[in-house]
Structure 1
């Protein structure tokens, strides 16, 4: 446990120090200062998106170093070509190595633009990597980057996938983005698990899938800046919808299944600088869907005896009292409510912020007996937890406390509690 805490602390301390670095600024005239200011803003924006820019490509900071329970330390390099290389073609990829599982993972990809006005791209990719079981991602999600990913440290349930994909990325309007993907994957869980179907047991299986994903931001504002359309106001609510269809016997695929995922985020910015955030996520899977492609409910609590042994880092949108691999569903929904009060201005540098949080989850599993060798519970009753965070107490560090109550309250009192620290920095 101490080793894990030291790893967490060192990773975040390095990340914070890196984010705070600023080059020295010698005295210059006002025009030069303005140009430097623009360059600095663009540089920080690129860094904030997770890239370190070079002449013809941008280094992807996501692949430098990570840690999880299966791979241990995971480190490598990745990147994507930029407009200096070409405005019509791009190449991207990465190569990483996990020290605990002693394996390389990689991706090779590229794309070409077929229409500039609608930002339409055709992308090709070959990926050999790991994915968390029960996780579900929207193709149209904006690139989300943080110097530190809290949940990743404690995840141990992965599946390996070798995926060949082709996708079409298209902007229907400024407010409506879409992406369509066709993919063929070889799936192998890294843990003991078999999916039973028609008297046959599958540990590894092939999937052929089609995905259609849309993201609608009806209240965002866009303007023409330097001959490019850019979002100038991040409006709420936002909506995301994704349909996944698996086809049996297409390119050797083993299963037919369907998934529908939905998410909406609403944010209220109050006049007193307080912010209220509401996030609703729902998903439904039908047909022959193995556990790897079902749903967990964003758990972030490790199975240890005492609160101090479970002490780790609170996630951004995760259930802090829900134990990893405790629940899985083929139909689920979660509701998360956050209210961040106006920061307490104790000094110019010390501005802690109190956040109140409540989270709820509901789900069910139609054919639990098909999933062999892996024990889990279901969410037919309402899962509830509430708590608070006090953020930015020291160099971006804070503290959080959450309590589990209601239908899934555990007999032992301290098993319902989660005490962790938070980490928040911004560029």
Structure 2
């Protein structure tokens, strides 16, 4: 009897829940049954609406009851449709053309005029009164921030549910729900909640976010996943000309260049929170560009945005993202200052952009509250380091979250915590998780030990022949305070065993004081990079590339031992000191020589022994990392500047060391986002060696004899083609992100991306250094007469994963074995 009563109550509750919602979806056509893209759909007498996609499809829902839907589009008669049911998913709406309204071109192409357009008049007022985020109007500010990250498996159907891959996990599909944005079924699989206190001072340009609580349900050691998603959904300002997502710059609908990119239509006006606002819809003028479609409400006196919706068009040149949807809401302070109160971001990650393809929703909901202004804090408050891990913060009680959440979890989110706890005990899920981990990290996980990386198992070069490598690392959690790494390798041609072993320990988390030591005996391609470090685990890709151009036989046998200390006194600023001893000799003296004349004895030496102390300063402004152990993972690689300064001293007669010298090196890398014109990467390297040293200790301009595109190398230079003791190089590479190809009809649908690059190197080498290495029989040439240069033309995003570059040499054609032209390629997953 009890179960019968519960069943009746559940049925009544379900009916009540459905009755309190209105859900509609379908497709909009013209009288010729052609889809009408970017039509405006709203619930009548409300501000709730959406825009059809490129195929005329739409979906929207509301927790309130509505009986009518209004459909409008420029050049067509507005149509109001009565809803007979609360849930209607397959509506077919036919719009009639309004022949007298606009000329034929406007009707069929939906282009709006840039002149005499009231929507653009309003847009110009937004520009004139545009403001930075509301908090920028005050000297200091503080507010509470609640952030919820969620991953959902979407497009759940019977085929997926009955798939063999989910054998033993069928119970997870009991919690399937429907997205309010797309109308697709989805299953929550991951949830993270974070509560922070944010402080800022606009006068001294300082910002600090203090985490006060964090709770998650999902895979173990998921800090990297959380940080990666946070970086993808990094903060943005809709008033900026360009909004950066997934490492790409999208033109904002509020941009000053927007009238050249978007169509704008003034469609409605209404009171929102006692403020009279205008509603403007917008949609792109061309396909395949990084643009949005959507609408916004703007206040009629301050010309500030009250609400805005942005949805990336499916034709946009972006990979692995089928849909991207953004909502922002603003509240009014003192009748004039608009402050953001809610930011909702949803993306659909999928291999295909087809309508029925499955994917994973990534959702971020951010709420802002308790704003306070002009409360000054000392500068030391912003600069002081805090322990990045506080056990209490990550283990708050349920009562804390019940009071702290600015928005209650819905029924599906509440179930996620229990669902993931249950999944961890299911063998089938563990198997899937292990496969995913191997593909993502390259390591096979055991209890406390990882075997790998698997991708370095096989290599080839002229000295070792085929080379097999096996290695691993200790790994208990992502936040281990100590780690030991090692490997062993064997070359079948030289029949020699090589190895590397290193260990490091995090002494203090706040200052990130790390002690490390190690030893490596291996065969290496020296001169594959200019700015070298004494990393005992490091190995150049050029040393074991399976396919190479020309003979890859100028390899060096290296025996390197190093002890180092590293400190991070300020975020992203590190100081290091390393003491090292290394011996260098040719891997095969019949093919390559490092011989030199001992300056004191005038005797021929075939092996270099060198003790060195190096002090380094490194600064990475804007770098974002995750983890609080000895190893941290950078989550925004390639998206921040790098400034590296190294000063090293060679000590003679210490452990039989041969040479005394001083060397200074500077590396400066900077990415530049140039709005709608793409992204420019630049690298400047400079260095000088004071003192006389042989070939093995000189600076080699890095060549590249592989068929892989390796940044910061010269693809048409052979190894050791240019050798210097003083050098300067500059690398520039620009990715237009398809801006040119998107305007060529036959290429537009391929979503290819065009790249151009130019590289230059200048250097000198003293006569004393040339004479010192004379017995090596190597011709030492420096590009001192004129700057050596190359340029490249490339095509990226071929099949979404491949890039090919065509390289052309600019000068020094008379160098021995000089290559005038070359082709390299690379694989990668890029948005």
Deviations 1:232-273 (A, max 9, x none): 656533201112211111111111122212111111123327
Quote the offset at 1:231 in angstroms.
5.9
TM-score in terms of structure 1 length = 0.79
**In 2, Cα distance between the equivalents of 1:140 and 1:183?**
7
Aligned position for 2:790: 385
| 2:685/2:729 contact within 8 Å kept | yes
**Paired residue for 1:365?**
765
Number of residue pairs the alignment of both structures matches: 391
**Aligned counterpart for 2:450 among listed residues 58, 61, 65:** 58
Is 2:804 the partner of 1:399? yes
* 1:135-189: CA deviation from partner (whole Å, max 9, x where unpaired): 4454499x9999x769945343221122222111222222212332111222212
Correspondence list, 1:337-376, <5 A: 337-343=732-738, 350-366=750-766, 367-371=769-773, 372=775, 373-376=777-780
Could you tell me whether the CA contact under 8 Å between 1:95 and 1:107 is conserved in 2? yes
Superposed, 1:50-129 pairs within 5 Å as 51-61=443-453, 63-84=456-477, 87-129=480-522
2:655 equivalent in structure 1: 251
The answer to whether the Cα contact below 8 Å between 1:138 and 1:242 also exists between their aligned partners in 2 is: no
- 2:447–2:476 CA contact under 8 A, matched in 1: no
**TM superposition shift of 1:332:** 1.0
Matches within 5 A, 1:182-331: 182-190=579-587, 191-198=592-599, 199-220=602-623, 236-272=640-676, 274-301=678-705, 312-331=707-726
CA shift digits 1:263-314 (9 cap, x unpaired): 1111112332711111111221222322122122221248xxxxxxxxx333
Per-residue displacement from partner, 1:44-81 (whole Å, max 9, x unpaired)?
79965654444312333153122233223222111221
Structure 2: which 5+ residue stretches go unaligned?
Answer: 1-163, 176-186, 192-216, 226-432
Supply the distance in 1 between the matched residues of 2:563 and 2:594 (Cα, whole angstroms).
Answer: 29
TM-score, normalised relative to structure 2: 0.43
Distance, in Å, in 2 between the alignment partners of 1:415 and 1:255 is: 33
SS at match of 2:505: strand
Corresponding residue SS for 1:214? strand
Q: Distance in 2 between matches of 1:31 and 1:183?
A: 51
Contact residue 63 and residue 96 of structure 1 kept, 8 A: no
The equivalent position to 2:822 in structure 1, one of 415, 419, 427, is 419
Q: Which has the higher contact order (CA 8 A, sep 6+)?
A: 1
Structure 1 stretch displaced more, 45-54 or 350-359: 45-54
Is contact 1:150–1:313 with CA below 8 Å preserved after alignment?
no
Determine the structure 2 residue equivalent to 1:11: none
Distance 1:284 1:186 in 2: 22
8 A Cα contact 1:151 1:300, kept in partner: no
Change (3 A) 1:313 1:122: closer
Give the match for residue 5 of structure 1.
none
Q: Given that residues 555 and 586 in structure 2 are in contact (C-alpha distance below 8 angstroms), is that contact kept between their aligned partners in structure 1? A: yes
Q: 2:452 & 2:779 partners in 1: Cα distance?
A: 37
> Structure 2 vs 1, CA of residues 398 and 85 (structure 1 numbering), >3 Å: closer, same or farther?
closer
Q: Given the superposition, is the C-alpha separation of residues 77 and 276 from structure 1 closer, same or farther in structure 2, using an over 3 Å criterion?
A: same
Provide, for residues 78-118 of structure 1, a one-character-per-residue CA deviation record: whole Å limited to 9, x for no partner: 12212449833322111011222221110122233211222
Find the residue that maps to 2:723 and give its secondary structure. coil
Alpha-carbon contact 1:131-1:160 (below 8 Å) kept: yes
- Cα distance in 1 between the residues matched to 2:538 and 2:437: 13
Closer/same/farther in 2, CA of residues 89 and 39 from structure 1, 3 Å limit: closer
Task: Tell me how large the CA RMSD over aligned residues is.
Answer: 3.7
Question: Could you tell me which of 159, 162, 165 is aligned with 2:562?
Answer: 165
| Whole-Å separation in 2 of the counterparts to 1:107 and 1:38 | 30
Note if contact 1:405-1:416 (Cα within 8 Å) is conserved in structure 2. no
Considering only CA atoms, is the larger Rg found in Structure 1 or Structure 2? Answer: 2
Deviations along 1:331-363, one digit per CA (max 9) or x if unpaired, are 111101111011357999953221101010000
More strand by share: 1
Q: Which residue of 2 aligns with 1:9?
A: none
The change in CA–CA distance for 1:169 and 1:55 in structure 2 (over 3 A counts) is farther
CA shift, 1:396, in A, is 3.1
> Is the CA contact 1:386–1:402 (under 8 Å) kept in the aligned structure 2?
yes
Match of 2:573 in 1: 176
Please state if 1:332 is matched with 2:727.
Answer: yes
1:93–1:49 distance in 2 versus 1, CA, 3 Å: same
Distance in structure 2 (CA, Å) of the matches to 1:68 and 1:32: 45
Are the aligned partners of 1:353 and 1:392 in contact in 2 as well (CA < 8 Å)? yes
Give the superposition deviation at 1:201.
Answer: 1.8
